Structure 1
Amino acid sequence: MPVAGPAEVRTAALRDLAADRRAVVGVVLVNALAAAAGLIGPWLLGRIIDTIQAGSGDVLSAVDRLAFGALLFTVVQTVLSWWALKIGYRFGERTAARVRERFLARTLALPPRVADHLPTGDLIARGSTDASLVAITLRSAVPEVLVAMIHALALIVAVLFLDLRLGLCGLVCLIGVGAAIRWYLRRARPVYLAVAASGADLADVVASTAKGARTVETLGLERRRSQVTETAIAQARFARLAALWLRTVLFPWSEVALALPVVGVLLIGGALYAHELVSLGVVVTATVYLRQLVGPLDTLMLWIEQLQGAGASYARVEGLADIPKEEPQLSPGTVGDRIRVDNAHYSYTGARDVLHGIDLLVQPGERLAIVGTSGAGKSTLARLLAGLDRPHTGSVTIGGTPVADLPPDQLREHVVLITQDHHVFHDTVRDNLLIAKPNATDDELYAALDAVGAVWVNDLPRRLDTELDHDTNLDDASAQQLSLARVVLADPHTLILDEATSLLDPRTARRTEQSLASVLQGRTVIAIAHRLQTAHDADRIAVMEAGELVELGTHDELVRAGRVYGQLWQTWHAESP
């Protein structure tokens, strides 16, 4: 998956800042006031020292007034800093929400044929780990970094105005800090991108292994998957150690460099005071200013390290915008309901075709069954018919329009593919169904559930308003029926069932298919299944073998022909109880 470049990340960050510019301006202004208030205390301390040294007049009263002023401005600085952080954290929460919403919107806007080929683990990592890191950074880093930058700038300017010689001395001693940051930044971006990428790869390995756990166990692939996982863990560990090495160099170097300005000013200031070129109060004030500079600079150094990781995550989150959208180029006109496949060839990798010269015409209202052994190309053909993929040669059209060129909302009105994979949202039964038809009434919802044989809804504690979560969890069969009920509500004119009832027991599957047949009467139904009883009830049967359409006809015609389908039927019929 693509990763956004530095320029794209800067543009996105500026866009997020501009979206809440009032809060940003508020943070800057209040922080500036807090920094200004913080400069008064050290200046008054210098005045106290000079007043005591002078020893003229009512020294005690003057010291008391100056000390009270220092205390007052310290309180003012504390209140203003708290107010600035409050504004900044609220800004961060709003901006983090925008980042997450933008990522979700971009994910949902991806065409199915594009989203289906994305690495699942990488997409999950970007939407969870990376998005959370960006959110945390925006929530915490923006206010704290702004506070530190403004405070540091104010202290540097104050030292320069207090005494130019001491100020320049302090700036020269800060060269070490600049060198440490420059060394770190030149190496950090690729290292932290590698950390994020290795974490995504590890998530992908874990997710794919968990999803295919049954297959792994059946085929005895536990050792191989363990080796793959160990390799991913080792790569993630290596990437994190590289980032840790950068930190072990940066932080000790910066700790030494941050102490140099104070040491330099004390040495130079002491020499100037010894030659009566500057007062003791000025030296003390400049020293306190530069000692206070350690705080904001230390904050900046800490956040610079964390911002590299956040910047890499920001680049990964924004990289979703660079995924080709394959915008449909739909010519104007009304789309019909006749599906035609003309000389379609398809390859997943471009190296070898898995479909070879498929020609098929599906009549409106026809019930077509596609059968064949595993790996014959049935599911691949279903994806082409549903517009999830497009043939690299030939065409798959509906009413003369390429199915893959239909926009998603228009495509769902014509063709819906439902597979053995299903998803139940942690929400009510009602909301799980309203995804397909937001304005559906309760009667329509119950009718859709009844159409697929989902009688279990009547046994739920709150029926349609029952929350489906860990406490009320549906088994695979019930979850699949819920998915089928969504299809009934969507009401497309063509329905493609890719082994959609494979998780149901034979009796329930038969009843569900019969219910769907009655509900979808007059609509085109393309059923892909291993159970040949489904093919027996179809108007026509298309037989796939090794990526080719080898037979097409009715059940009786194909049984009499005695070829591929006839042999499959005889074998299945003989083994059926």
Structure 2
Amino acid sequence: MNRRLPVADGAAVRRRAVELVREHRGAIAAVTIIQLLAALASVGIPRVLGSMVDLVTGAVDANTAGRLQGLIVVVIALAVGNAALTGCGEYLARVLGERVFAELRERLVGSAMHLPLSVVESAGTGDLLGRTGRDLDSIRNVVQRGVSQILVIVLTLLTIVAAAVITSPQLSPALIIPLLTILPAASWYLRYAVPAYRAMNAMWAEVDGVVAETADQAVTVDAHGLGARRNRILDRAMIEVWSTEQYALWLRIVLITALGLGSFGPVIAVVAWGAWLAGHGAVSLGAITTVSLYAVQLRTPVSEMTFWIDSLQTAGAAMSRIVGVELVAPDRQATSSTVTGRPPRVCGVSYAYLPGHDVLHDVDLELIPGERLAVVGPSGSGKSTLGRMLAGIHPPTRGRVTVGDGDGVDLTALTEDALHHEVALVTQEHHVFACSLADNLRLARTDATDAELERALEVVGAAEWARGLSDGLDTLVGAGGVQLTPGQAQQVALARIVLMDPATLVLDEATSLLDPSVARSAERSLDAVLAGRTVVAIAHRLDTAAAADRVAVVIDGRIVELGPHAELLAAGGEYARLWRAWVSD
């Protein structure tokens, strides 16, 4: 049963937001000051226009034309200043947004890279893909553009209200009171929108997972005729997404309607109230003109507020899922960085993916340094799980997997770097990332020199084609670059193993997904990597077992036989039965 990754609560998201503000307080202060100056220049224009109205409607004398011309110059200067300050503020805000988004993305990727594999497998592919894809995209626009736009909206609203009060205390209530009617609608919207967007993001993650898993396992889906079943699962997920999207859309419609009324209300109220006050001689026509223009200016930020309130809720829901990745508790506590170079030892190990359902039962296994051990057994017997125990992927439910003399050190107590020097798991899956060939290789060891990279490629037989690339090690490979063949991709994966230089290798059918011609070449590369190391091969083909020094037979989560191929055949037990069945097939 899949368990989703945790979702951070509002307090955790606010703490993360405060951290970001503190880290970038200098840049945020600069953007705020510039946008405040731009807002002051903007609200200054209606004030000057109101003065012009009072000037032309009042007593005209010889100096009126000169004063009017001076006010026109002031209006032009304010408009130019507003444009320049707005442009400068927008540029600085975009730069700030890019930096903040880059930090968020790198921190998320760093957290995801160090997630316990057991947690990732339990959560499923879609949840993590959704957080690193759709959730980041939801935040992107708010961080990159929203910083500037939200500051402009807030500062514009505050300066307009303040300027209206200063211009005419009698007229300002007509501008402010209609704005206050927006608050109940916004409060109602926020109460329901945040849970809706969180649910919607989680459902989209489920859709992404269904699509990704179906595409990745397309051959299996076709072979077993699972297409209709996968389509039903996708249809059910899409129906849930559609229902949630409809609910969120209804919430937005209510909010937009309320904000629309709020943006028109001040204009109508100011004109009506101003006409009544002017009729009683309480305010001048210039004051009415100024505050009316302020009311018109309010319409733009209030209208934009609709979009940004909605975007903030989407981004807030996404942020809670992204911060949630950082809240995953480690499944181990690293206490040692000692590298012994000796093979792992299994002592009384049991393991359960689900509580109370052990797939390994009290397994003991002592590896001989430098040997090749084949682990065989029926499908579902626990072979691959044992391999993961030996590679330190999962901590055992009970018992210990250790390295070193005496009581040894638990594999799960080693730091990542020490663990990688002790043992590495090579599986059927390998990936070429969209970056240079050198960067692909340095995933295994970041401090590796070009000479060491070339040596690793030489060991696995990849040096010739690597030298033939247009830019050598700096050639972009993967998506958007040179597409490597399956055999070349496997060699890149094996070259990473050479750079890691582990003392023990656990192989889980590392070449079984390749076609026969490529597999033969990859197996030659693999043989070069295995030289001088202790090797545990999870064997799904028994010809691998026949070539091994010893064979461990796993049945129902227990090692029931252990010894050389010939001895086990002669004993006529479980291994002999498996061998006869395999030979007859």
* TM-score normalised by L of structure 2: 0.92
Shift of 1:375: 1.3
The equivalent of 1:151 in structure 2 is 156
Where in structure 2 are the equivalents of 1:212-223 lying within 5 Å?
Answer: 212-223=217-228
Q: 2 CA distance for matches of 1:480 and 1:332?
A: 29
* Comparing 55-64 and 384-393, the one that deviates more: 55-64
* Comparing 116-125 and 1-10, the one that deviates more: 116-125
Q: 2 CA distance for matches of 1:546 and 1:197?
A: 36
Q: 1:189 aligns with which of 180, 194, 208?
A: 194
The 1:76/1:12 distance shift into structure 2, 3 A limit, reads same
1:563 aligns with 2:563: no
The 1:565/1:30 distance shift into structure 2, 3 A limit, reads same
Q: Verify the 8 A CA contact 1:97 1:135 in the aligned structure 2.
A: no
Q: 1:178 aligns with which of 183, 204, 216?
A: 183
Aligned residue identity for 1:98: E
The equivalent of 1:14 in structure 2 is 18
The equivalent of 2:34 in structure 1 is 30
Q: Verify the 8 A CA contact 1:30 1:80 in the aligned structure 2.
A: yes
Q: 1:69 aligns with which of 74, 97, 101?
A: 74
Q: Verify the 8 A CA contact 1:337 1:398 in the aligned structure 2.
A: yes
Q: CA RMSD in A?
A: 2.3
The equivalent of 1:427 in structure 2 is 435
Q: 2 CA distance for matches of 1:43 and 1:432?
A: 62
* Comparing 514-523 and 417-426, the one that deviates more: 514-523
Q: Verify the 8 A CA contact 1:113 1:387 in the aligned structure 2.
A: no
Q: 1 CA distance for matches of 2:79 and 2:466?
A: 67
The CA deviation string for residues 454-496 of structure 1, in whole angstroms up to 9 with x for no partner, is: 5772684446554423563233333223222321232111111
* Comparing 506-515 and 463-472, the one that deviates more: 506-515
Shift of 1:228: 0.1
Which segments of 5 or more consecutive residues in structure 1 lack a partner in the other structure?
none
Q: 1:5 aligns with which of 6, 9, 19?
A: 9
Shift of 1:573: 3.7
The equivalent of 2:410 in structure 1 is 402
* Comparing 535-544 and 477-486, the one that deviates more: 477-486
The 1:90/1:434 distance shift into structure 2, 3 A limit, reads closer
The equivalent of 1:468 in structure 2 is 477
The equivalent of 1:44 in structure 2 is 48
Where in structure 2 are the equivalents of 1:212-361 lying within 5 Å?
Answer: 212-330=217-335, 335=340, 337-361=342-366
The 1:30/1:520 distance shift into structure 2, 3 A limit, reads same
The CA deviation string for residues 286-326 of structure 1, in whole angstroms up to 9 with x for no partner, is: 11112212222222232111111111111111111111123
Q: Verify the 8 A CA contact 2:371 2:549 in the aligned structure 1.
A: yes
Q: 1:537 aligns with which of 530, 534, 547?
A: 547
The 1:455/1:536 distance shift into structure 2, 3 A limit, reads farther
Q: 1 CA distance for matches of 2:17 and 2:137?
A: 16
The equivalent of 1:140 in structure 2 is 145
The 1:27/1:521 distance shift into structure 2, 3 A limit, reads closer
Q: Verify the 8 A CA contact 2:39 2:156 in the aligned structure 1.
A: yes
Q: 2 CA distance for matches of 1:103 and 1:402?
A: 29
Shift of 1:441: 5.6
- Please give the secondary structure, in 2, of the residue aligned with 1:174: helix
Aligned residue identity for 2:415: P
- Please give the secondary structure, in 2, of the residue aligned with 1:326: coil
Q: 2 CA distance for matches of 1:230 and 1:89?
A: 39
Shift of 1:439: 5.0
Shift of 1:229: 0.5
- Please give the secondary structure, in 2, of the residue aligned with 1:354: strand
The 1:443/1:564 distance shift into structure 2, 3 A limit, reads farther
Shift of 1:53: 1.9
Q: 2 CA distance for matches of 1:28 and 1:511?
A: 62
Q: 1 CA distance for matches of 2:412 and 2:363?
A: 16
The 1:128/1:291 distance shift into structure 2, 3 A limit, reads same
Q: 1:166 aligns with which of 166, 171, 180?
A: 171
- Please give the secondary structure, in 1, of the residue aligned with 2:365: strand
Q: 1 CA distance for matches of 2:356 and 2:520?
A: 39
- Please give the secondary structure, in 2, of the residue aligned with 1:422: coil
Q: 2 CA distance for matches of 1:131 and 1:336?
A: 41
Q: 1 CA distance for matches of 2:109 and 2:351?
A: 31
Q: Verify the 8 A CA contact 1:344 1:356 in the aligned structure 2.
A: yes
- Please give the secondary structure, in 2, of the residue aligned with 1:417: strand
Q: Verify the 8 A CA contact 1:99 1:135 in the aligned structure 2.
A: no
Which segments of 5 or more consecutive residues in structure 2 lack a partner in the other structure?
none
The 1:555/1:509 distance shift into structure 2, 3 A limit, reads farther
Shift of 1:61: 3.2
Q: 2 CA distance for matches of 1:302 and 1:488?
A: 53
* Comparing 531-540 and 152-161, the one that deviates more: 531-540
Q: 2 CA distance for matches of 1:531 and 1:455?
A: 30
Shift of 1:233: 0.9
Aligned residue identity for 2:48: L
Q: 2 CA distance for matches of 1:42 and 1:445?
A: 67
Aligned residue identity for 1:325: P
- Please give the secondary structure, in 1, of the residue aligned with 2:133: helix
The 1:129/1:296 distance shift into structure 2, 3 A limit, reads same
The 1:53/1:134 distance shift into structure 2, 3 A limit, reads same
Aligned residue identity for 2:478: D
Q: 2 CA distance for matches of 1:510 and 1:202?
A: 38
Q: 2:380 aligns with which of 375, 383, 398?
A: 375
- Please give the secondary structure, in 2, of the residue aligned with 1:368: strand
Q: Verify the 8 A CA contact 2:494 2:525 in the aligned structure 1.
A: no
- Please give the secondary structure, in 2, of the residue aligned with 1:360: strand
The CA deviation string for residues 15-60 of structure 1, in whole angstroms up to 9 with x for no partner, is: 2122222221111111221122222221122222222222331333
The equivalent of 2:424 in structure 1 is 416
* TM-score normalised by L of structure 1: 0.94
Q: Verify the 8 A CA contact 1:95 1:135 in the aligned structure 2.
A: no
Q: Verify the 8 A CA contact 1:370 1:544 in the aligned structure 2.
A: yes
The 1:403/1:31 distance shift into structure 2, 3 A limit, reads same
Q: Verify the 8 A CA contact 1:177 1:258 in the aligned structure 2.
A: no
Q: Verify the 8 A CA contact 1:451 1:512 in the aligned structure 2.
A: no
The equivalent of 2:58 in structure 1 is 54
Shift of 1:366: 2.0
The CA deviation string for residues 188-233 of structure 1, in whole angstroms up to 9 with x for no partner, is: 1001111111111110111111111111111111111000000111
Q: Verify the 8 A CA contact 1:457 1:464 in the aligned structure 2.
A: no
